[in-house]
Amino acid sequence: VAAPASPLLADLNEEQLAAVTLPAGHALILAGAGSGKTRVLTTRIAWLLQTGQATPAGILAVTFTNKAAKEMTARLSAMLPVNVRGMWIGTFHGLCNRLLRAHHQAAGLPQAFQILDMQDQLSAVKRLCKQHGVDDERFPPKQLQYFIAGCKEEGQRPGDVAVKDPDTRKKVEFYQLYEEQCQREGVVDFGELMLRSFELLRDQPHLRAHYQRRFQHILVDEFQDTNRLQYAWLKQLAGDEVGGQMRTQGSVIAVGDDDQSIYAFRGARVGNMADFVREFDVQRQIKLEQNYRSFSNILDSANALISHNSRRLGKNLRTTQGPGEPVRVYEAHNDLAEAQWMVEEIRQLVKNDGFERQQIAILYRSNAQSRVIETALFNAGVAYRVYGGLRFFERAEIKHALAYLRLLENPHDNTSFMRAVNFPPRGIGARTVEVLQDAARSAGCSLSDAVTAVPGKAGANLGAFVAKIEVLREQTQGKNLRLIIEAVLEESGLLEHYRNEKEGADRIENLQELVNAGESFVTQEGFGRDAVALPLDEHGQALRQSPVSQGIDPTQPMLDQVLPGSQPAAGIIDIDTGETLSPLVAFLTHAALEAGDNQAQAGQDAVQLMTVHASKGLEFDAVFIGGMEEGLFPHENAMSDSGGLEEERRLMYVAITRARKRLYLSHSQTRMLHGQTRFHMKSRFFDELPEEALKWITPKQQGFGTFTPQSSGGYGGGGYGGSRGGFGAKTETFASPPVPPQKAAPSHGLRAGIAVFHNKFGEGKVLAIEGTGDDARAQVNFPRHGTKWLALAIAKLTIVD
Ligand code: ATP
Ligand code: MG
């Protein structure tokens, strides 16, 4: 390889350099965590632009999260003096949204279509169930929602679903009704964004040809977690399929790691990688084997763990970094002590070792674990930030405010109507709403249009509500986003409502934050980021004359231009009419799509809390993985089959490989989950980690003798240097944080994992224990009678050895 000509390429190793500078053609880069896959992708885009092989408009890059898309554009603009605002870099959903906005007529949607998130979708489903008298015992709304989402992920419309039994027939009928409702109301759910935009490309040859010509370079990160529909969507953009082979004009580069495939439960298909190689006749496959992220104790742990999986494509990872600190493992008495330990360790990291809080992450397998950790951090005054969980835009008060905003844009949005009509309470009862729904159904109109059909006082109340919205709409006409949001908060009565509520202060603060979010959205965030969607002639050729010629230099190729930043009101433009999206619609879209970014607290130096799923692709100096217990991680739902267990192991692999310098693992003997205390064995994953990379830290327990570890005042006083006490070379003790004194061992002597005998049910295995004393209960699996909860004060169980 010749010496790199550009400073862009200076730090790359040989394989990375080869990947970045690949000649035109399709390629698969298959490599382990932290080997620079994402970096290669970003650098390749920069290199293509810098060497003039591509224009910003010729590139389409798919990232896994909005955060990743932002990071990529930020890195790009740091590398090159290029306007990245118009580039098609985003998540599948973000890019589909963009495509549908630009071609909404062809896609059969109103330009201002609104996006239903999962919560909205569920309420739309519930509403429909009620309307059609669906038996919600037999067809729980959640199940119907999953059914619909599942069909869409497979690219199936109601007519495409194979009906095998009466239940499926019912569900398919419901799916059909749901689609009609969404279409009537001008809303799309997440699955619809993807499917609709796939169909748009599939059914509009001119459009497809245009985009195929345009996107000469398609790059996809985290390819192992694409589902069937996403892959099919990519294929539409890349070229035409003839006899199982793709005929393409440009290049597709897919980057992935089969060991990090963690979304099978949502339809992700690792098999897409093999299909890609075959269908695109991929000639170049590159492996990256050097890990740049982690010290070797961390990397060795990850490698050892994942080697227990059988279905792997096989990759190696090495590092030139030294061993670093050992991986610390902590066994806590209970979840409070675990959280307390994390807090103390974090304090040390910040105070003694100079770690930034935002470079420290606490990862957990399930969202329910975060509450205890949050409390501990809060009490200790450590700033933190939670990704996922209940995200900013998903909080109840925010959803209420958004419902009003959406009604301003679209009075026929029934989901928003239902949410807002009696919140804050204005005397419109459930009965009235039912009458209204009936009226709307028989008249075939929206709820808003049906209010005049409701008689009496109820009708008057409804009329007043609709009038209020109309007045608000007029008042806010032409106002900027900030003023619109402020007006809505005041006039809707939401602020007043929360002012009178005892616990309302937080909610008011969040509502205020919504105003800020609107403001910053217009001034700095993505609004106006989107390129001019270009008009096409009947052959799908880009027309040089834009309907919105403002700010466009006609001597330059249209595609490369974006509206200048000084025109934030531009946004996405309707290619047929030249109409632009209102800032409000753009903001509402942003709220639905980027809910996870939690921008309300962005920029603060805060410890990051998130699920392992949400941590994919990210890296932190220090990582804590809590709740390493059987049933929790690996999760009990996943343990019934080996495929599930392997996916849990990949999750653990993802979690471990987020860490650069320090890794902390912990498990707890007891844990409060879903309102119950549970006893858990430590995770089997501990047995799969290399003992020499670990350092077990055991809290001081009663009965361990007289040794007092730290004279300096206990916990957290002086680091953990050297081993002390008689617990083996890798074990040390220290005074544990203030936790309730350890209770004596329970008198029943049971714990998870042991075999027991019951007079009636025979032999079984204890799965879990809850409660203490007279309230103690055991969950036991009896091979012949199934799993049962038994009250230990009553059931006579004997231990079998
Ligand atoms: P994941 O599988 O977790 O998504 P990845 O393969 O995408 O990981 P990156 O995030 O691209 O890996 O890179 C991991 C880290 O290593 C980053 O901090 C990146 O900047 C750094 N890195 C990658 N390549 C090099 C290099 N050649 N020299 C120095 N640092 C590098
Ligand atoms: Mg990556």
> What ipTM is given for this predicted complex?
0.99
CA–centroid distance, residue 5 to ligand 1 (Å) = 21
pLDDT given at position 391:
61
**For ligand 1, is residue 660 a contact (CB within 6 Å)?**
no
| Angstrom distance (rounded) from CA 62 to CA 88 | 8
Q: Per DSSP, what are the bridge partners of residue 608?
A: 361, 385
Which tokens belong to 62? Answer: 């798919």
Whether the CB of 611 sits within 6 Å of ligand 1: no
Where does a domain end: 468, 493, 523?
Answer: 523
Domain membership of residue 583 (yes or no) is no
Question: Quick one: 74 and 213 in the same domain?
Answer: yes
Which residues have C-beta within 8 Å of that of residue 511, sequence separation ≥ 6?
397, 398, 401, 489, 494, 495, 498
Summary count for the chain: helices (H), strands (E): 24, 24
233 and 377 within one domain: no
Locate 620 and state its tokens. 């932190």
The structure tokens listed for 787 are 């799993």
Contact by Cβ (8 Å): 766, 756: yes
What distance in Å separates the CA atoms of residue 441 and residue 430, rounded to the nearest whole number? 16
Whether residues 122 and 148 share a domain: the answer is yes
Q: Are 656 and 663 in contact (CB under 8 A)?
A: yes
- For the chain, which ranges sit under pLDDT 50? 1-3, 525-578, 597-602, 702-745
Contact indicator for 342, 373 with CB cutoff of 8 Å? yes
Q: Are residues 660 and 725 in the same domain?
A: yes
Residues 160 and 204 in one domain: no
Q: Which CATH number is 160's domain given? A: 1.10.10.160
- 453 neighbors 439 (Cβ within 8 angstroms): yes
pTM of the model: 0.74
In sequence order, what E strands does 403-464 have? Answer: none
Collapsing DSSP states into helix, strand and coil, what is residue 424?
A: coil
Residue nearest to atom 2 of ligand 1 (CA): 33
Whether the bond into 699 is cis, omega within 30 of 0: no
Give distance in angstroms: CA of 261 to centre of ligand 2. 12
DSSP for residue 114: E
CB 781 within 8 A of CB 767: yes
The stretches of 557-702 forming alpha helices (DSSP H) are: 583-593, 642-656
Q: Which residues are annotated as a binding site for ATP?
A: 31-38
Instruction: Tell whether 473 and 379 lie within a shared domain.
Output: no
- Domain check: are 438 and 516 in the same one? yes
Residue 778, SS3 per DSSP: strand
The string of DSSP codes covering 245-280 is EEEESSEEEEEE-GGG---GGGTB-THHHHHHHHHT
The residue whose C-alpha atom lies closest to atom 31 belonging to ligand 1 is 292
Structure tokens that stand for 410 in this block: 């679209």
Return the sign of the alpha-carbon dihedral for residues 372, 378, 383, 388.
positive
Query: What positions carry a catalytic annotation?
Result: 37-38, 221-222, 260, 658
CA distance 728 to 585: 63
First-to-last C-alpha distance (Å) of the chain: 65
CATH of the domain at 487: 1.10.486.10
Say yes or no: 675 and 783 in one domain.
no
The finding on whether 257 has its CB within 6 A of some atom of ligand 1 is: yes
Domain that holds residue 178: 114-185
CA-CA distance, 262 to 537, in Å (whole number)? 43
Q: Please, are residues 666 and 373 in contact by the beta-carbon 8 Å criterion?
A: no
Beta-strand (E) ranges in 295-356? 327-334
Helical (H) or strand (E) element with 187: strand 187-189
Contacts of 394 (CB under 8 A, 6+ apart): 117, 119, 595
Nearest CA among 530, 419, 467, 574 for reference residue 106: 574
Any atom of ligand 1 within 6 Å of the Cβ of 256 = no
Listed as own residue / partner, the contacts of 135-141 with beta carbons closer than 8 Å and 24 or more positions apart are 138/167, 139/167, 139/170, 139/171, 139/174
**Co-location of 151 and 45 in the same domain:** no
Measured from the CB, is residue 509 less than 6 Å from ligand 1? no
- Domain-terminating residue out of 523, 549, 581: 523
262 neighbors 651 (Cβ within 8 angstroms): yes
Query: Which residues lie closer than 8 Å to 792 by C-beta, 6 or more apart?
Result: 748, 750, 776, 777, 778
Burial call 71-89: b when 16+ CB within 10 Å, e when fewer: bbbebbeebbebebbbbbb
> Cα of 34 to ligand 1 centre, how many Å?
5
CB 504 within 8 A of CB 471: no
Rounded to the nearest angstrom, the distance between the alpha carbon of 321 and the centre of ligand 1 is 14
In this structure, are 396 and 475 located in the same domain?
yes
Do you know the residue count of the chain? 801
Cite the annotated binding site by residue number: 31-38
CA atoms within 13 A on the CB side of 732: 15
Q: How many CB atoms lie within 10 A of CB 64?
A: 19
How many Cβ atoms are within 10 Å of 676's Cβ, its own excluded? Answer: 11
Q: Which token pair is 312?
A: 């792997």
Bridge partners (DSSP) of residue 488 are none
Q: Which amino acid appears at position 735 of this protein?
A: A
321 ligand 1 Cβ < 6 A: no
Residue type, 594: E
Nearest CA to ligand 1 atom 21: 292
Query: Does residue 162 lie in a domain region?
Result: yes
Q: Who contacts 242 (Cβ-Cβ below 8 Å, separation ≥6)?
A: none
Could you say which of 734, 768, 791 is where a domain stops? 734
Tell me the CA–centroid distance for residue 390 and ligand 1, in Å. 30
Q: CB–CB of 199/235 below 8 Å?
A: no
Detail the DSSP E strand segments found in 556-689. 607-611, 620-625, 659-673, 676-679
Q: Flag whether 749 is in a domain.
A: no
Counted domains in the chain:
5
- CB-CB contact of 84 with 562 (8 Å): no
Is position 336 within any domain?
A: yes
Which residue shows structure tokens 């898309």? 69
Ligand 1 contact via 261 beta carbon (within 6 Å): no
* Phi, psi angles (nearest 5°) of residue 294: -120, 155
Strand (E) or helix (H) holding 786: strand 786-791
Cα separation, 307 vs 742, in Å, equals 37
Structural domain includes residue 569: no
CATH at 29: 3.40.50.300
Is position 572 within any domain?
A: no
Query: How far is the C-alpha of 557 from the C-alpha of 377, rounded, in Å?
Result: 53
Residues 413 and 114: beta-carbon distance below 8 Å: yes
From 778, 782, 799, select the one nearest 790 (Cα to Cα): 778
Can you tell me whether residue 789 is helix, strand or coil? strand
- The predicted structure's pLDDT at residue 601: 46
Question: Has residue 1 been placed in a domain?
Answer: no
- Does residue 80 contact residue 50 with C-beta atoms inside 8 Å? yes
Answer yes or no: do 206 and 163 share one domain. Answer: no
Q: Which of 343, 382, 327 minimizes the C-alpha distance to 738? A: 343
d(CA 172, CA 379): 50
Cis preceding linkage at 746, omega within 30: no
Between CA 337 and CA 374 the distance in angstroms is 13
Residue whose CA lies nearest to ligand 1 atom number 28: 11
Are 726 and 795 in the same domain? Answer: no
* Closest by Cα among 295, 291, 259, 298 to 689: 298
Domain contains 311: yes
Would you call 323 exposed, middle or buried from its count of C-beta atoms within 10 A (0-12, 13-18, 19+)?
A: middle
Determine contact, residues 788/795, Cβ cutoff 8 Å: no
Which ligand has the minimum distance to the alpha carbon of residue 31? 1
